[in-house]
Each structure stands twice: as structure tokens, then as C-alpha cells.
Structure 1
């Protein structure tokens, strides 16, 4: 694996495919005006507000670093992720930043890149063997879930309560969040339903409608991101269940407004901007053998009505 890759010449395609886009310091036709030879590939995992803001942060920070960026989106498909990584390898990027679809698929993705001498920098998660990666901007997703569970524990007191979970897509961030949430719930909080919303608001609304029909006495719901949480709130309200309290994650402007209004009881601020900024800055630093933390831990903030001002900026403006 070559970590000092700034001086390598990048191979650029003359045409941009529908899944791969050149961005960064570029003009409207997609060509780059940067004089540097540092190139980064960014393989995004999905299409939620988190992924959109993460990519925007990567692109904007890359501009300040004088880097050219190719971006691709795997749309929650592990097979597409591998194909995107192969495309990035063919362009001989200096380093590859990956927001993975599925933690289990990372082993093959990393092996493919490593065999081609392309270092991978991960966002949100890290592998168990960090020797195989350039670095990672890590979110403690188990802690994220546990923070929401802690709010429920405090709010419920010692009363027996019923909790529903609207998870994201199985196999990556959602599994870690849900595991952390369930593990931190007190004994008096019983999980009565746990279904994936696939990070899709329409799917999450269907899940919530079925959940509240099966469990009309539901007290709380943990929803894996705010995009889905708005749809879940809509489903509960339509069923006359405005009393069901929702805890979620992201910390978008819209999510904070929902906390302020009482539509959400709490959200865990998990700044996409901070992750993207850190990933690019640290990846470039590590390529240049600078003293940069290989594994950077992204701070998390449990946000309620009482501390709305503590939430970090979520998305680049």
C-alpha cells in the first residue's frame, strides 16, 4: 500500500460516466482547474441527507487542499460499491475515501484496492485491522444508539414502557446503532418491534403504520435517521398517537427544529460536515506522512430542547 502518493500522476477519463463524477476545483464541463496532481476518489453509500452533506463536505474540503475528486454512489448496494471502487482504481487515484454500504463487504473492497496500491480511508466506521487502511474518521455508532437509549431511560424513570425500532438498512451503520441502543436500554423498556426502514422515508412510514397498529400502546420509537423519523412521526400522528416519543440521529437543521417543536424528543448530532472535513484533511495529511491521527473520533452530542445550541453544524452551507 503506497501512503506517499501525492506525486503520482492520475489517469483521467475523457468522459464521465453516469456513476462517476469529477468534482472539486473544476469548471462547469467537469474539467479541473487545479494545478496539483493529488486525486481523491469518494465512494458514497447512499442518498440520504447524511450522504448528500457528507459528499458536499468532501468536495468542498478537497478544494481547499487543491485536490481533484471523483465521486460515485453505491445506492445501498454492496455489489455497486465494489464496482465503484474498481472504477476508482482504474483512475489510479491517490487515495480512496469510502462511506461503506456494508461493513461485511469491506474486506473484499479493501483487498481489491490494496492489491492495486490504492490506500483506503473510511468514513463512519473502521475495520478491526487498521493496518490495511490509510485511516478512518470514526463515529461510535454504538454510542450513538446508547445516547438515545439513555434519554428514554431517564424519561421513563422506572415505569415499564414499550419501544419500537425503525432501523436503517441491514449490514452497516444501522446494525451498530441499533445494537448500541438495545444494549443500553433499561430492563423496564421492552423492545416490541424492530423492522428496517431501509433509510427510505416511504418504507419507514409503512413500517411505522404497521408498528402502531400492532402495538397501539407504544411509548417510544428509536428511528435510525431523521429522514425516516419525519415519516414515522407522520404515521404516528395520523393514527392519533402524538404521545409516542421519537428519538433519532443526525442533527440537521430540520431535525433540530423538530426537537424544538416537540415532534422529536431527542436527536444525536452526528455532523456529516465534520466527518467529511476530517476525512479529506486527514487522508491528505497521512499521504504526506504528516503527524495526523490515523483514527479520528467524531464527537457526538445528544440534543434535546435544553441544549439545542450545542449541536454542531451538520451540512456545509
Structure 2
């Protein structure tokens, strides 16, 4: 559910969660080192990182591109805005028909969109949209503030009016994490006090270090909000090792592993936002909008499901097979 961002005058997220330089293989797919072959439409896919979310997103893009008879070039920005712009420039140089971008930072979108517009290459966004969509082909949007708010709502219901202490293990500053955490904090009840808020950088090892320090400083912690499930598993290990098995963790993504962790009690709740749905929607709609096909939405909102033990069967499929 990688997770977007600091505010800017032009690019403001209306909302992703939680964020692979994998080669798109098979019919209609190409890596970022060769020429396109086959496919009636060429797409440049600029991914943002290499978390499980990004890997599943790329698989979904690959599968839907094959279904749409599209050729795809792939690049990965590795959570760096400068690399993202460089990747976009490389895709433009390949004369792709459109760009699909999973941005690392909404502040980066201003330069991305301007560069694509100047080259006459339409750009389609995944996870976020900008405040001004005039120069954007479309977007498959995850309401990240709502994602955080849903997790906060679960804590409010579970705490049942008691005063509780909450820790936050964020992702990478300036990316999806900012909206997730902002939505979470805004929706917490007044009885919930945030006693720690540190970035885990969408890195399990870093998140485990953060969690170890957090529980040492706050041994009476009641809940933790973690910006993706990969980090949440590491946070769980840290808490358990410190004898804090009772701390309840809420997270983001709805991966197969995350749903299993809900079932066995390692996680208490997660917000499912299917990477498979995001990727497939992006390719299908980008191709449709390029062709001027009627009935294709410029902005598509990705469904969100708060998953707990009460409704694990309602979680959507997260990653393509």
C-alpha cells in the first residue's frame, strides 16, 4: 500500500499507502534497456520503489498491458525524485505514447508533468492526483488520508473511550507516508495521544530499529500505526522481543501476508488497497483515454476496505498471481 507528500503550490495529492526495478517480461513488455517490439500502444512505466506494493503494481501493469496489446518500458526511481525525472526523460526519448508514473513525491510531479507536457507525452498517475488535472491524462487514485483515517477509526472503536498511547512508524518523508500519517492523526480521538512518530523509510530493518527505541521509551504503549505491512511485521517482532505483545498494530496494504497476520493476531487491522487493481486500472484507462474511448473515467478511485478479524473474507486480492 507504498506508499504522498509535502504541499506545493501546484501539486497536491487528493490521494495512495503505503511504494521494483523488475523487467516487464512476456508478450508486449520490454525492460528499460532495449527497444520496443510488438504492441499497438507503447507505455513508459516509472515505478517509485521496490517494496511489495511496487512489485505487485508492476505485475499488474504487465498483465494488463498484455491484455491491451501494449508494449511497456519499465524504470524504477528508488524513492528519489531526481531519478524519477531522469526516468521520465528517458521514456520520452523512447517516444512512448504515454507515461504511467507512481511518483515518489507529489512535489516532484510539477517537474514531471511540465517535462511530459513539453514533449507532448500524456502522463497517467497512479495512487495520487494533482490539484490541477488539466495537463494530466488521468489517475488511478487511492485516498491516502482516508486510509489513515480508517485505521484511526479502528483504534477509536477498540479503545472505547479510554485514554491510550499511540506510536507511529511512518514511511519515507515526502512520499505516501505524509498523507497516510496526516489522515491517521487527524482522525484519532482526543483520548488517543501520539507519543512517538518516526520514519521507518518503508524498510523493515529500519522500522524494527525505530520500534525497539519506541517501546523502550514508551513501555506502556497501547497501539502502533505502521505505514505498510512489511514494516509492520518487523515492528511486531521488536515489540514481542521487548515483551510488548499486547501492543495492537494497525497498518496498510491488505497483502496476502497481511491478511494472514490479521487472522493469527500479529496485526489487528489493515486497510486493503489492491495494488493489482491500481495497476490494471492505470493501464486499461490510459489506453482507453489515449484512444478517446467513451465511458473511461479520467479519475478512478480505488476501493478501500478496513480489514480486521471480523471481515477477513472481504479483503480484495492484492497481488496478481
TM-score strictly above 0.5 = yes
Is structure 2 residue 15 aligned with structure 1 residue 37? no
**CA-to-aligned-CA distance 1:125-170 (integer Å, 9 cap, x gap):** 0011011100000000000000000000000011000000000011
Distance 2:110 2:42 in 1: 23
1:9 corresponds in structure 2 to none
Conserved? CA contact 1:22–1:31, under 8 Å: no
1:312 corresponds in structure 2 to 316
Is structure 2 residue 59 aligned with structure 1 residue 61? no
1:27–1:41 distance in 2 versus 1, CA, 3 Å: closer
| TM-score normalised to structure 2 length | 0.90
Distance 1:206 1:33 in 2: 46
1:7 corresponds in structure 2 to none
1:182 corresponds in structure 2 to 185
2:245 corresponds in structure 1 to 242
1:233 corresponds in structure 2 to 236
Paired residues, number: 298
Higher RCO (C-alpha under 8 Å, 6+ residues apart)? 2
Distance 2:29 2:128 in 1: 33
Conserved? CA contact 2:223–2:249, under 8 Å: yes
1:97 corresponds in structure 2 to 100
Give structure 1 stretches of 5+ with no counterpart.
1-18
Distance 1:202 1:56 in 2: 25
Distance 1:283 1:31 in 2: 21
Is structure 2 residue 123 aligned with structure 1 residue 120? yes
Distance 2:99 2:46 in 1: 8
1:26–1:286 distance in 2 versus 1, CA, 3 Å: closer
Distance 2:35 2:179 in 1: 39
Conserved? CA contact 2:30–2:74, under 8 Å: no
Conserved? CA contact 2:47–2:74, under 8 Å: yes
Q: CA deviation at 1:172?
A: 1.9
**CA-to-aligned-CA distance 1:246-265 (integer Å, 9 cap, x gap):** 00011111100000000000
2:227 corresponds in structure 1 to 224
Distance 1:120 1:140 in 2: 20
Residue 302 (structure 1) aligned to one of 288, 298, 306: 306
| TM-score normalised to structure 1 length | 0.91
2:6 corresponds in structure 1 to none
CA RMSD, 1 decimal: 1.6
Distance 1:24 1:120 in 2: 24
Conserved? CA contact 1:24–1:60, under 8 Å: no
Residue 81 (structure 2) aligned to one of 78, 81, 86: 78
Conserved? CA contact 1:20–1:70, under 8 Å: no
2:5 corresponds in structure 1 to none
- SS of 1:130's equivalent in the other structure is coil
Give structure 2 stretches of 5+ with no counterpart.
1-20
Conserved? CA contact 2:28–2:72, under 8 Å: no
1:251–1:65 distance in 2 versus 1, CA, 3 Å: same
